[in-house]
Structure 1
Amino acid sequence: MNFRKKTNILHILLLTIAVSSCKNENKEVRKAEIKDADLPKNVLPKMKPFVDESPKLTASYIAEKQKKIDSFYNKNWPNNSMNGGFLVAQNGQIIYEKYEGYANFRDKTLITSTTPIHIASVSKVLTATAVLKLVNAKRIDLDQKVTDFLKEFPYPDVTVRMLLCHRSGMRSYAYFTDRDKNVWDRHNTLTNQDILTIMGTKNIGLEQKTGTRFAYCNTNYAMLALIIEKVTKLSYKEAMAEIIFKPLGMKNTFVLDFDKDKKNVAPSYKGNKVEIGIDYLDKIYGDKNIYSTPRDLLKFDRARNSPSFLEPELLAQVYTGYSNEHKGTKNYGLGIRMINWENGKNFYFHNGWWHGFTSSYIPLKDENVTIIALSNKFTRSTYAVRKLSVLFGDYPFKVADE
C-alpha cells in the first residue's frame, strides 16, 4: 500500500471517530436536556392517596356539639356580622359550618362554601408543608444553608429550619422597604426576588443574631417561596398547585396571580365595610397570598396530619417548639404556632391578618378536630374560635358560651 492510500485511510478513520464522537456528545447533550426538561417532575414529591378511616360520629353527638357551637357563633358574630366562612369538623366530618355576607359589597356577590378568601398568614402553614414535602422527597435538608439555594442571600448562617421557625434574625421586608426611597420606591410593586436583591445589595442588617431568638418575620416565608421555586423549577403558584392543591382536591384554592387576579378576587374591607385597596406589598407570596375555603383547608388538615403524608419523624418536628431560650407556654414549630401548658396539653394554631382579611386555623390533634374561620371584613372575632376547643378537650380557655 502506497503512502497516499495509507494517508487517505487514516483520514477516513479519524473522520469516522470524530463523527462518532460528535454523535455521542450530541446524545449526552440531548440526555442532559431531557433530564433538565424532566426536572420538575422528578423533584416533585409523590403523593399517596389519603383515605380517612376515622370512626363516624353519632347523630346525637353531632347534635349536642352543633347546639353549643351555634350558641357560640351567635354571640361571637351577632346579627350575622361575620362576613366569611366558618367550619368545625371532627374525624373529617363537618359538625357545623356557616357562610354569610358578601365576597364583594359592590355587586352583592354572596360568600358560599366555594368562595376563595385570602387566608393571610395561614398561608405560612401551606408554604411550610410544601417545603416539608420536598424535605420528605430528599430534595431539601432542613439544616441546609439558605445560600445553597439562593446565591444572593447575604446571611450565611441561616438555614431552612430557621426560616420555618422564625429564628433567622432577618428584618421584615415591610419595614426596610417602607421608609427609605433609596432602598425601594413604594410606587413600584415589590416582588419576592426584589426582597432578595435588596437584602443582597443594600446592606440590610439583621434584627438580631441568627439563631438566638424567635422573631416572627414575613421575610422568612418570602424566602422559603423562592427556595421552593429554585428546587422545583416551577413558579411558587405552580409548585403549590402540584405539591398540595391538586393532589388533595383543593379545587377552590390558589396562589394569587397579582397581575391577572387582583381585580377578580374577593376584596377586603374595614369593619365599617369600606373597601381596602391593594398596595405595593400585595405581590409577595409565601407568607400570604393564598386564597382558599374552609372545606379545602379541612382537606389539607386531614391529609397533613395523616401518617402517610409526611414521614412520622418529620411530622413530629413540625409540632416541636424551637424557641426555648425563655421559659413560657408560647412557642413556634415548623410553620405552626403552639401553646404548651405545664400539664402536658398542647394547643396548635395559626392566625392570619392582611388588610381586612382575618383567618384562624386550629388543628386539635388529640381530639381529631379542625376549626377554621375566614373573613374578608376585619374582625378580631375570627381569633376567638379557639374558645371552641373546650368543647372537645381539656384546654384552659374560658368556656365557649360564657
Structure 2
Amino acid sequence: MKMSFLKMTKIPQILFLILVLSSCGNDKKTSVDPASVVEDTMPKMKPLGPEKRISQAYINSVKGRINHFYNKNWPNNSMNGSFLVARNGQIIFERYNGYANKNEGTKITAETPVQIASVSKVLTATAVLKLVNAGKLDLDQKVNTILKTFPYEDCTVRMLLSHRTGMRNYAYFTDHDKSVWDRHNQLTNKDILDILATKDIGLEAKTGTRFGYCNTNYAMLALIIEKITGLKYKEAMAEMIFKPLGMTHTYIFDDDKDRKTIVPSYKGNGAEIGFDYLDNVYGDKNVFSTVRDLLKFDRARQSPDFLKPALLKQVYTGYSNERKGTKNYGLGIRMINWETGQNFYFHNGWWHGNTSSYITLMKEHVTIIALSNKMTRNTYAVRKLAPIFGDYPFNFKDEE
C-alpha cells in the first residue's frame, strides 16, 4: 500500500511537469516567425563554386575571334546593351554600350538591369524545377490540383514547362474583345486565370498533342510558384534564386513601383516605347537583370546540387518531336539537336524593344549572353560564336 500510495502521489506531479513542458513548447511554436519557416524550407539555388582557371594563352586564342564578331555584328560600337562571353565562369570578353535612358543621358554599364524578356522563362522554369526536386511539386501533377479554377483538366506542370498545353496566348485573347478584357486596365496573372476559368477560351490544340510556344504557360507557372511557396512570385524568385546567387542587380518588374525607374526600351529608330496593358504579367517575362548576374545563374545550373540526375535529364530532353527536325524544346530551355549527337541549348527573348539571348555550351563550360534595350535582331546572332568553342554545325550562310 505504501508503494502504491507513493506512486499515486507522483502521478499528479508528473502530469503537472508534462503540462508545463508542453506549455513551454507551445510558447516557442507561437513565437516562430512564419517567414523564417518559409525561408528555412525553401529550396534554393547554390553557387557552383570555384572552377578551373583558364589560361591567358587560351583567352588570347579566342578573344580576337570574339572581337571580330563583335565589330562585325555591332559596327562602330553600335550595340545598345550588354554582351558577355565566359568560360568556367571566367569572363573572356564583355562590352557595354548605348543609353540606359536617353532622356537622362545615362549609359548602360555592367550594373544596369534590363528587361530580359523570354529569357525569364529559364529562370521561372528553374524555380519550378527546384520545387519539384524538393518534393513540393510533381512534374506530372495536374495543374487544376494546384490552381483550383484552371479549366483544362488534362494539363500538367510538365506540359506547361514544355509548351504542350494547347493553350492560346493571353496577348491574343485579351486583345480585341472587350467582353473578355478591357485594355484600359492592367492585366495580371490572376486575371488571366480568371478569364480562362470563366470566358470559355478554347484551346488551339488538344492538350498534350503538340508543341505550341505560348506565354500563357509561364504566366500559369508563376502562379503555381506563388501557390506552392506562399510568397509572391517576385519574393519567391528572390529567395530561391537571386539572393542565394548574389544576383544583386536582378529583380522582377512591378508596374506599380518600378515604372518610373526601370531602363526603358526603344524602337530601332531610337523612339522610346511606352507601357501597355500586358506589362504587369510575369513568369513569361519581366525579369530585369545584367549579363554578369545571368552568368552567376548559368554557372549555378551546372552545379551538382542543382537537380537530381534523373530530373536534370528530363530538363534537356526534347518534347516537340512531332515532326523530324533539329529544333526542340525541353523544360524551360530551347535546343537544337543534330544527328551528330551534338546539342545546343539556349533561349531568346523579345518584348517591346528589348531583345535577349542566353546560350549555355554545357560541354565546353561556356556562357554567351547578349541583352539589348533597343530593338535589333543582331542580339540573336551571338550563336555564331558557338563554333569557336566546339563542333556546332550551324549553316550560317543560309541566314546571310
Normalising by the residue count of structure 2, what TM-score does the alignment of the two structures yield?
A: 0.90
Distance change >3 Å, CA 328–CA 32, structure 1 → 2: farther
Q: CA deviation at 1:352?
A: 0.1
Partner of 1:50: 48
Q: Does 1:130 align with 2:127?
A: yes
Q: Does 1:72 align with 2:69?
A: yes
Q: Cα deviations across residues 156-206 of structure 1 (Å, max 9, x unaligned)?
A: 110000000000111100011001000000000000000000000011111
Q: CA deviation at 1:399?
A: 6.9
Partner of 2:280: 283
In 2: Cα distance, 1:151 partner to 1:40 partner:
22
Q: CA deviation at 1:247?
A: 0.3
The 5-angstrom pairing of residues 182-193 of structure 1 reads 182-193=179-190
Q: Cα deviations across residues 75-96 of structure 1 (Å, max 9, x unaligned)?
A: 0011221100000001111010
Q: CA deviation at 1:270?
A: 0.3
Q: Is the 8 A contact 1:387 1:398 kept in 2?
A: no
The 5-angstrom pairing of residues 282-321 of structure 1 reads 282-321=279-318
Q: CA deviation at 1:40?
A: 2.4
Partner of 2:386: 389
Q: CA deviation at 1:306?
A: 1.6
SS state of the match for residue 119, structure 2? helix
The 5-angstrom pairing of residues 131-280 of structure 1 reads 131-280=128-277
SS state of the match for residue 286, structure 1? coil
SS state of the match for residue 79, structure 1? helix
In 2: Cα distance, 1:133 partner to 1:219 partner:
21
In 1: Cα distance, 2:30 partner to 2:320 partner:
44
Show structure 1 runs of 5+ residues with no match: 1-20
Higher alpha-carbon deviation: 346-355 or 28-37: 28-37
Q: Cα deviations across residues 203-233 of structure 1 (Å, max 9, x unaligned)?
A: 1111110000000000000000000000111
Q: CA deviation at 1:32?
A: 8.8
Count of matched residue pairs: 381
Which amino acid counterpart does residue 163 of structure 1 have in structure 2?
L
The 5-angstrom pairing of residues 327-338 of structure 1 reads 327-338=324-335
Partner of 1:41: 39
Q: CA deviation at 1:49?
A: 5.0
Q: CA deviation at 1:397?
A: 2.0
Which amino acid counterpart does residue 49 of structure 2 have in structure 1?
V
Which amino acid counterpart does residue 45 of structure 1 have in structure 2?
P
In 1: Cα distance, 2:129 partner to 2:289 partner:
20
SS state of the match for residue 151, structure 2? coil
Q: Is the 8 A contact 2:47 2:299 kept in 1?
A: no
Which amino acid counterpart does residue 329 of structure 1 have in structure 2?
T
Which amino acid counterpart does residue 67 of structure 2 have in structure 1?
D
Which amino acid counterpart does residue 39 of structure 2 have in structure 1?
K
In 2: Cα distance, 1:266 partner to 1:46 partner:
28
In 2: Cα distance, 1:37 partner to 1:61 partner:
47
Higher alpha-carbon deviation: 308-317 or 261-270: 308-317
Q: Cα deviations across residues 373-392 of structure 1 (Å, max 9, x unaligned)?
A: 00000000000000000100
Q: CA deviation at 1:257?
A: 1.2
Q: Is the 8 A contact 1:113 1:294 kept in 2?
A: yes
In 2: Cα distance, 1:313 partner to 1:104 partner:
45
Which amino acid counterpart does residue 121 of structure 1 have in structure 2?
S
Partner of 1:63: 60
SS state of the match for residue 277, structure 2? coil
In 2: Cα distance, 1:231 partner to 1:373 partner:
32
SS state of the match for residue 77, structure 2? coil
Q: Does 1:121 align with 2:118?
A: yes
In 2: Cα distance, 1:176 partner to 1:340 partner:
33
Q: Cα deviations across residues 229-282 of structure 1 (Å, max 9, x unaligned)?
A: 001110000000000000001000000111000110000000110000000000
Q: Is the 8 A contact 2:46 2:306 kept in 1?
A: yes
Q: Is the 8 A contact 1:319 1:334 kept in 2?
A: yes
Which amino acid counterpart does residue 88 of structure 2 have in structure 1?
N
Q: CA deviation at 1:309?
A: 1.7
Q: CA deviation at 1:349?
A: 0.5
Q: Is the 8 A contact 1:349 1:363 kept in 2?
A: yes
In 2: Cα distance, 1:247 partner to 1:345 partner:
32
Partner of 1:16: none
Q: Does 1:98 align with 2:64?
A: no
Q: Is the 8 A contact 2:47 2:296 kept in 1?
A: no
Which amino acid counterpart does residue 145 of structure 2 have in structure 1?
D
Which amino acid counterpart does residue 137 of structure 1 have in structure 2?
A
Q: CA deviation at 1:153?
A: 0.3
In 2: Cα distance, 1:325 partner to 1:28 partner:
57
Task: Select the residue among 289, 307, 320 that pairs with 1:323.
Answer: 320
In 2: Cα distance, 1:114 partner to 1:172 partner:
33
Q: Is the 8 A contact 1:39 1:232 kept in 2?
A: no
Q: CA deviation at 1:50?
A: 3.0
Q: Does 1:361 align with 2:364?
A: no
Partner of 1:12: none
In 2: Cα distance, 1:88 partner to 1:199 partner:
41
Partner of 1:373: 370
Task: Select the residue among 67, 79, 82 that pairs with 1:85.
Answer: 82
